[in-house]
Amino acid sequence: MFTSNPFAELSAFIPPIVMQTYIVVMILMVVGGTLFDIIHKKSALYFFRNWRNSSGKATRPVGGGEMASLAIQAAVEGLASGEFCSAQRRIAHLLTMYGFVAYVVTTVIMVFAYPTPATPAPAILPTLWTIGALMICLGGYWFWFFIRVDVAAEGNSPFRLVRADLFVVSLMVSATLGLVWAYLQAAGNTGWTNVFLTLYLLATTVLFGSIPWSKFSHMFFKPAAAFQKRVEEANGWRNNLPAPADSPEIYGSARRAPRNF
């Protein structure tokens, strides 16, 4: 399982061109769903309007070199999930994020570059694919059952679902079913392999096809928002805003800030 390309084995029943077309369709769903989300929620309009507003009220100019430095800082913070105060949530997010990257990238490489047993993939690719899926499951289930605010702080059932949970749930289900499918295929259980392959494709289609209603596109907005915040702090615009609710100016320095779950 760790060294066998599951998609190459699948080519005996499904032509590689079909698998490749499916991936292209999923990519188009991501692009189309993200654009729809931006237009429908007017996220881009809000971002540029706020950027223009902050630039017009800046108290000091931000040069090109400083702007590049701020962009690098925002990127590093995003790659390290530095926006989370809770160490547990940061670790869970990093596991899920990098697991997802490894899972998707290795899937694309194996399907397009090594689609059949005649073109064997390097053992590192299926290994990374499996590790990536396991990281998604570890980070996702840890977050879902132990870290979520409505579970850890509010005492709600971990099985309570709302629309905002669509992305993380479909991601966990896709990775879980993918691992089960790959294991059954490696074990030679044809009947159950076909069942879990169908479920795996269904869950993956929901994951990438539900972008307008899930938080998938959130990953594209967060880096832009983090960069904008740093620029606003650098040009002095944020210094004119009221202090945040958890700041010493509001609560007093002795009061403990609310916990970020």
Sign of the alpha-carbon dihedral angle for 109, 113, 117, 123 = negative
Taking the chain, what is the end-to-end CA distance rounded to the nearest angstrom?
36
Q: Is residue 28 part of a domain?
A: yes
pTM score: 0.75
CA–CA dist 251, 253 (Å, integer): 7
Predicted confidence (pLDDT) per residue in 201-232, tens digit: 999 999 998 887 777 766 666 666 777 777 77
Residue whose C-alpha is closest to residue 5's, from 136, 189, 129: 129
Angle, in degrees to the nearest 10, between helices 64-79 and 218-234: 140
Q: Is residue 249 part of a domain?
A: no
What the block records as the tokens of 229 is: 């915040």
Number of domains making up the chain? 1
Predicted confidence (pLDDT) per residue in 120-177, tens digit: 999 999 999 999 999 999 999 998 888 876 555 556 666 666 767 788 899 999 999 9
Q: Is residue 115 part of a domain?
A: yes
Q: Is residue 248 part of a domain?
A: no
Predicted confidence (pLDDT) per residue in 59-93, tens digit: 677 777 877 887 777 677 666 665 666 778 889 88
Q: Domain span at residue 183?
A: 6-44+66-220
CA–CA dist 1, 14 (Å, integer): 19
Q: Is residue 171 part of a domain?
A: yes
Q: Is residue 121 part of a domain?
A: yes
Q: Is residue 131 part of a domain?
A: yes
Q: CB neighbours (10 Å) of residue 99? A: 23
Residue type, 260: N
